[in-house]
Structure 1
Amino acid sequence: MIEDRIIYAALAGYIKPGERLGEKEMSEIFDVSRTLVREAMIRLQARGIVEVLPRRGWFVIEPTIEEARQTINARRALEVGMLVTADKISSEQIAILRQHVMAEEEALAADDRARRSYLLGHFHVCLAETVGNAVLGSLLQDLTTRTVLIAALYQSTHDAHESCTEHAEIINALEMGDPDEAARLMDVHLRHVEKALNYRDITERVKNLRHALRNGPSS
Structure 2
Amino acid sequence: MNPATANIEEAILSAILAGRIAPGTRLGEQKLADLFGVSRTRVREAMMRLETRGVVQVSARRGWYVVEPSAEEAREAFHTRRVIEVGLLQTVPHVPPNVLAALKEHVAMERAAIESGDIGSRACLLGDFHIHLADALGNRLLTEIIRDLTARTTLISMLYQPTEKAEESSHDHEDIVAAMEADDLTLAARLMGEHIAKVEAGLDLTAKPDPLAGLRELLSPSTFTGNTPSVPHSHTHPHSHSFGKED
With structure 2 as the length reference, what TM-score do the two structures score?
A: 0.80
Partner of 1:130: 136
Measure, in 2, the Cα distance between the counterparts of 1:117 and 1:74. 21
Deviation at 1:106, TM superposition (A): 1.7
Measure, in 2, the Cα distance between the counterparts of 1:147 and 1:178. 27
2:115 aligned to which of 81, 92, 109: 109
Higher percent of residues as helix: 1
1:143 aligned to which of 132, 135, 149: 149
Unaligned residue ranges in structure 1 (runs of 5+): 204-219
- Please give the secondary structure, in 2, of the residue aligned with 1:58: strand
Measure, in 2, the Cα distance between the counterparts of 1:88 and 1:126. 17
AA aligned opposite 2:35: I
1:164 maps to 2:187: no
Deviation at 1:87, TM superposition (A): 2.2
Deviation at 1:73, TM superposition (A): 0.1
1:25 aligned to which of 24, 31, 36: 31
Deviation at 1:132, TM superposition (A): 1.7
Partner of 1:212: none
Deviation at 1:158, TM superposition (A): 4.7
Measure, in 2, the Cα distance between the counterparts of 1:33 and 1:129. 33
AA aligned opposite 2:41: T
Partner of 1:63: 69
Unaligned residue ranges in structure 2 (runs of 5+): 1-6, 210-247
Aligned partners of 1:87 and 1:131 also within 8 Å: no
- Please give the secondary structure, in 2, of the residue aligned with 1:197: coil
Measure, in 2, the Cα distance between the counterparts of 1:158 and 1:199. 15
* CA distances 1:88-117 after superposition (whole Å, capped 9, x unpaired): 011111001111111111211221111111
Runs (4+) off by over 3 Å: none
- Please give the secondary structure, in 1, of the residue aligned with 2:203: coil
Partner of 1:39: 45
Partner of 1:8: 14
Deviates more, 1:156-165 or 1:11-20: 156-165
With structure 1 as the length reference, what TM-score do the two structures score?
A: 0.90
1:186 aligned to which of 192, 198, 212: 192
Percent identity between matched residues is 46
AA aligned opposite 2:56: V
AA aligned opposite 2:127: G
1:98 maps to 2:112: no
Aligned partners of 2:71 and 2:206 also within 8 Å: no
- Please give the secondary structure, in 1, of the residue aligned with 2:208: helix
CA RMSD after TM alignment: 1.4
Deviation at 1:202, TM superposition (A): 2.6
- Please give the secondary structure, in 2, of the residue aligned with 1:126: helix
In structure 2, do the counterparts of structure 1 residues 41 and 132 end up closer, same or farther at CA, with 3 Å as the change threshold? same
Aligned length in residues = 204
Measure, in 1, the Cα distance between the counterparts of 2:53 and 2:162. 23
Higher relative CO (Cα under 8 Å, sequence separation at least 6) belongs to 2
